[in-house]
A and B are shown apart, each in its own frame.
Chain A
Amino acid sequence: MEKRVRRELRTGRLIQRGDSVAIALSGGKDSLVLTYILGKLFERAKNITLSAITVDEGIAGYRENTIPLAKKICAEFGLEHVIVSFEESFGSTLDQMMRDANKKPCTYCGVLRKYLLNKTARDLGANKLATGHNLDDEAQTILMNFIHADISKLARLIPQKTQKDMVMRIKPLRSIYEKEVVLYALVNNLKVDMEECPYSHEPIRAEIRDFLNEFEHKHPGRKYSILRSLDKLRNCLSTEFPQISLNSCKLCGEPTSGEICQACNLMREMLQK
C-alpha cells in the first residue's frame, strides 16, 4: 500500500522537492493513515516539509475523540500541528449554528471547514493541502456527479491548477480502498476511532456506497475502474470546463469565484437572524 501511495504521488507529481505539505487531519481513520504514511515516507526528506491542520467544528461527542489522536500522531512524527476551531474563527460551534439553521449541517461544515483549511495552510506557508479521500470516497463522488448530471463538478475532481491564495489540494490515498485504509491502521497498530459523524446524512451517497460494495464484491476492481475513467476524461473535461479564475472576496479577501465567498455569505445569513 505504501508503494501504491508512492506511485500515486510520483505519477501525479503530487509531492515534489521543495514542497511544504499541510495535511488536513481530522483525526478520523483516513487522515490518520494519511499522516502516518506521509510521515513515514518523508520523515527523513530534508527538502519536504510536513505539517498538519485540525479543524474543530465543535461537534459534541465526536471531535473530542479524534483530536487527541491527531495530536498524538503529530507528536510521534514531530509535525507542526495547528488546531483551528469554528468557535474561535466564526464565533460559534457547528452545534450552536445548527440550533437556528435553515441549511443542512454539511453545507455549513463543508464550506467553513474548507475555508479554514485553505487559509490556515496558506498561513503555514504550505503550497499543498493533502486530504485523506480514499478510493471509495472518490468512486462515490464520481458516480454521484454522473447521477446528478453535474459534469462541471466532476471536472473539479481532477487536479486543479494553482491559483492565487488557493492552496493546491492533493489526495494521496485516492487509489486506496477504504477497506485497505482500515486494514493498514490495524496492521500498524494505529488507534483509530470508527465513530461516524452524528450529522452525517447523505442518503444518495449511502445508496451509491452500498451499490458499489455489492458490485465490487461481484466484479472486483470496478471502484478502481471508475477512478481510472475519470483520469482518462481529464483532458476532455479540462477543455470542456476550463478552470475559472478566482477573485478575492470583497469582505474577507479569501479566494472566491464570485464577489463574496460562500463562507462570508453563510456568516451574513446567520447574523441576519
Chain B
Amino acid sequence: MLSLKVRIEMLGSNKQVWEIDVDKGTTYEKLLETIDINPETVIVIRDGFPVPIDDLVEEGEIKLLRVISGG
C-alpha cells in the first residue's frame, strides 16, 4: 500500500505537531482517530481552506483549528 507523509499542526495556545505516515485512501476522520482527536472538536484546514472530514488525505500539511467555547 502506498503511504503518504502528513504533517499535522494544532493551532492555538497549546501548539502540537504530529508527523505521520498514512495509507493512501485514508480519510481525515480516520487520520484524526489515529492521533486520538475527536473530529467533532476540530476543523481541518488544508491550504487555508476547511476540508470535510470524509475527504481523502493528501500528502503535505494540514492544520487543526480547535472548536472551543470562548463565550
Contact = CB atoms under 8 A, between A and B. Distances in A.
Interface in A188-234: 192-197, 200, 209, 213-214, 216-217
A51 interface: no
B71 A217 contact: no
A26 B39 CA distance: 27
B67 interface: yes
B41 interface: yes
B68 interface: yes
B13 interface: yes
B50 A213 contact: no
A179 B41 CA distance: 7
Interface in B41-68: 41, 43, 45, 50, 65-68
Task: Report which residue of A26, A137, A196 has the largest number of chain B beta carbons within 10 angstroms of its beta carbon.
Answer: A196
Contact of A213 (B40, B43, B71): B40
B71 A197 contact: yes
Interface residues of A, number: 24
A182 B38 CA distance: 16
Interface string A167-195: 00000000000110011001100001111
A28 B70 contact: yes
Contacts of B50: 183, 186-187
Task: Report which residue of B40, B65, B70 has the largest number of chain A beta carbons within 10 angstroms of its beta carbon.
Answer: B70
Minimum-distance CB pairs A-B, first 7:
A213-B40, A28-B70, A179-B67, A182-B67, A217-B40, A28-B71, A213-B38
Given A179-B40, A183-B43, A186-B50, 18 more contacts: A26-B71, A178-B67, A178-B69, A182-B65, A186-B43, A187-B50, A192-B70, A193-B70, A194-B12, A194-B65, A194-B66, A194-B68, A194-B70, A197-B70, A200-B69, A214-B38, A214-B40, A216-B40
